[in-house]
Structure 1
């Protein structure tokens, strides 16, 4: 990613803050994490890390567009997929959490990790997000794979 793309990603992500300037300052001089409200520019589907990493791997197929912004939270063991806002939040499944309007998401800047948060796919500033239907198919496939593997691993 070029410096211009990093800066576009910073501007795009900070636009979700009530005060973008303070958000950018916090990333550079504060704790390195900003709380941003979901539901305006994006929502976040958070899944357990094992499911999320397998899903992200499936989304990197050459026949699919580059995956949208994806955030890992190593402390909580979760992967967050950034999607277009959808007030219905019709995602159903074990361990799924859906953040939309009224929910807050802790995010580091696109150019570096902070504490336990790290971008697996940082925002590029274009506003590109995960396509819900594509993400849903990848999640179903990953769930199927994990269902087969779980008895083998003793989980």
Structure 2
């Protein structure tokens, strides 16, 4: 399987009807599907001003973080993390999407007008470790105080 096809299968596996999800991605001109969080992944949604610098820190310490979404307004960045993370997350200003929450997810092989993958899923199930994500957020938040570049 190609990477995009494997990623489609992995993402669609959480849908109530995976075949309908794949069909929606292929035929919907928006190229998005609504998927439930809390099964294969939760999502931690950071403000863009923190999310982009956090992703920069993560990519310096990891070969490849888990999948990361962004809206086209760059106002929010969503990190896919292991299920159960949302229930334990206490970060102020960070939205946690877990069981009972639905996420708009773009097709992993195509751009959409509303969302995009900053780090697309590869179908392997790799997710960002929430402890590393938290450390990266602290590092990203501290960088401007040390005279580093400000977030996007």
TM-score strictly above 0.5: yes
Deviation at 1:148, TM superposition (A): 5.5
Q: How far apart, in 1, do the equivalents of 2:80 and 2:142 lie? A: 22
Match in the other structure for 1:70: 68
Q: How far apart, in 1, do the equivalents of 2:86 and 2:7 lie? A: 27
8 A contact 1:51–1:146 mirrored in 2:
no
Q: How far apart, in 2, do the equivalents of 1:17 and 1:147 lie? A: 42
Q: Which runs of 5+ in 2 are unaligned?
A: none
SS at match of 2:117: strand
Deviation at 1:15, TM superposition (A): 0.7
Q: How far apart, in 1, do the equivalents of 2:85 and 2:94 lie? A: 16
Q: How far apart, in 1, do the equivalents of 2:38 and 2:123 lie? A: 17
Q: How far apart, in 1, do the equivalents of 2:104 and 2:86 lie? A: 22
Matches within 5 A, 1:129-140: 129-140=127-138
Are 2:20 and 1:13 aligned? Answer: no
Matches within 5 A, 1:1-155: 4-30=2-28, 31-61=30-60, 63-75=61-73, 77-86=75-84, 89-146=87-144
8 A contact 2:42–2:86 mirrored in 1:
no
Q: How far apart, in 1, do the equivalents of 2:44 and 2:34 lie? A: 16
SS at match of 1:110: coil
Residues 54-102 of structure 1: per-residue CA shift (max 9 Å, x gap): 00011112x4241100000124710000000016633233321000000
The number of residue pairs the alignment matches comes to 149
Q: How far apart, in 1, do the equivalents of 2:113 and 2:6 lie? A: 23
Task: Tell me the TM-score normalized by structure 1.
Answer: 0.87
Q: How far apart, in 1, do the equivalents of 2:81 and 2:70 lie? A: 15
Q: How far apart, in 1, do the equivalents of 2:98 and 2:144 lie? A: 27
SS at match of 2:113: coil
